Structure 1
Amino acid sequence: MSAPVTLDRREGPYGEVVLRRHGDLFQIIANGTFLMDTSDGRSERLLVDAAYLALDPPPAAPAVLIGGLGVGFSLAHAAASGHWARITVVEREQAIIDWHREGPLAAISGEALADPATVILHTDLVEHLRTTPDTYDALCLDIDNGPDWTVTEDNETLYSPGGLALCRARLRPGGVLAVWSARPSSEFEESMRNAGFSGVRTEEIHVARGVPDVVHLGVRAG
């Protein structure tokens, strides 16, 4: 395969973000760290499906917050599923939003962005959780390579006791927190339990090489 080609490079308040094409794949790189590409999408789809299936029972018109637009697989799958009455996507990088609205990633997310159920918010996820009065039936978070491998140091706040408390506060009773990770974290599972989430478990997505991708799940009880 030929070498990757840089399509766009932006310097923003959180550092550098790059969109590359490598053969048929698009890749997002943040501060030199590979975040994701368009090679598969199974784990991003599982993130959304597992959250919905954990709603017991699912409400009549559920609302989901997707933390991180990424390459758009989670948003596209949520919109296509027909399960969600409201889909809010929080993305702090304007460049990524632009790549979806008027760039090559529109091929993945275009229909979902046109769906009236979809709202894109250009803001930091923790700031949104701290300030919004809105509540959700599910939080599907995929802003890092996992709780133990964050893109920037300030993202660590999300996985701290205070960040998990914010997540719990934004969930309706019975709501589900789903967190994508490139590797399992028993420590994060314990942090979720300590933050008041019940039924904490991890679902694995096997990959060709290395440890599985995972989705950490927990339910807000009461």
Structure 2
Amino acid sequence: MTAGPTTATPSREDLEAPVTVDRREGPYGEVVLRRRGAHYEIIANGCFLMDTADGRSERLLVQAALDRLTGDGRSVLIGGLGVGFSLAYAAAEPRWGRIAVVERESAIVDWHRTGPLAAFSAGALADPRVEVVRADLVAHLTGDGPRYDALCLDIDNGPDWTVTEGNAGLYGPDGLAACLRRLEPGGVLAVWSARPSAAFEQALRTAGFAEVDTLEVAVERGVPDVVHLARRAR
């Protein structure tokens, strides 16, 4: 989520100093959970990832993929647990028969199991349809594994603004080819971004995806959040 224009009036919570709730050093760098007023923020290697203030675009990530599928018992892989909005929204939908959430940061999983983020994942980690995979998403997708009807990916601030350098491969030819392999025929790829990316839309088409589309969610300040959508041919 990008910062707004300097002329915008800051909200009361924007003016509150953040309080560090937990700080961990892991194999991919530092990850921090902060509280600002009533909301929580996740910071990775000094880069703001997401907060609990507004989960509309994270929910849209899952809903938009489901809207492009038919029938029940569908499977979805959610890339990035984050503050839990996408997972909780998927678990509340009975049409998903299998839900895998891939998260590489053990700290984030802990904050959902026993910490303050449990309130936002709404008990989804206990849902029998949900499997938590503790792995790097890029490595997980490029390896062998099951296919899914939908891949809903939200591990960066977008294709043009990655949290760690290694994530950039997800949005290039090799990463998109891996996504195609892990989708069922007719399956849907949904990618969250803090800003639209025409270059990524073209990369999806070049990789062989069809029905490429971008949905926008207006935010209080700055450019809209977006969900990039594409389909594997049947």
Calculate the TM-score normalised by the size of structure 1: 0.97
Larger displacement relative to structure 2 (127-136 or 5-14)? 127-136
Output the amino acid matched with 2:212: V
Distance 1:20 1:198 in 2: 40
Partner of 1:85: 97
Partner of 1:43: 57
Secondary structure at 1:98 match in 2 = helix
Distance 1:28 1:83 in 2: 30
Give the aligned CA root-mean-square deviation in angstroms: 0.9
Q: Match for 1:209 among 208, 211, 221?
A: 221
Contact 1:36 1:71 in 2 (8 A): yes
C-alpha distance after superposition, 1:48-69 (max 9, x if no partner): 00001112xx243100000000
Secondary structure at 1:99 match in 2 = helix
Output the amino acid matched with 2:158: G
Displacement of 1:82 after TM fit? 1.7
Secondary structure at 1:81 match in 2 = coil
Partner of 1:190: 202
Secondary structure at 2:174 match in 1 = helix
Distance 1:67 1:28 in 2: 16
C-alpha distance after superposition, 1:50-93 (max 9, x if no partner): 001112xx243100000000000000000012220001000000
Secondary structure at 1:190 match in 2 = helix
Partner of 1:54: 68
Partner of 1:144: 156
Contact 2:72 2:95 in 1 (8 A): no
Distance 1:214 1:83 in 2: 24
Secondary structure at 1:144 match in 2 = coil
> Is 1:125 matched with 2:122?
no
Calculate the TM-score normalised by the size of structure 2: 0.92
Partner of 2:19: 5
Distance 2:144 2:80 in 1: 17
Consecutive aligned runs of 4 or more in structure 1 exceeding 2 Å deviation: none
Distance 1:66 1:133 in 2: 14
C-alpha distance after superposition, 1:170-209 (max 9, x if no partner): 0000000000000000000000011111000100000011
Distance 1:130 1:103 in 2: 31
Contact 2:192 2:228 in 1 (8 A): yes
Distance 1:60 1:25 in 2: 34
Partner of 1:21: 35
Displacement of 1:130 after TM fit? 1.8
Question: Gaps (5+ residues) in structure 2?
Answer: 1-12
Distance 1:66 1:183 in 2: 20
Secondary structure at 2:228 match in 1 = strand
Distance 2:217 2:87 in 1: 19
Contact 2:72 2:96 in 1 (8 A): no
Larger displacement relative to structure 2 (165-174 or 123-132)? 123-132
Secondary structure at 2:119 match in 1 = helix
Partner of 2:176: 164
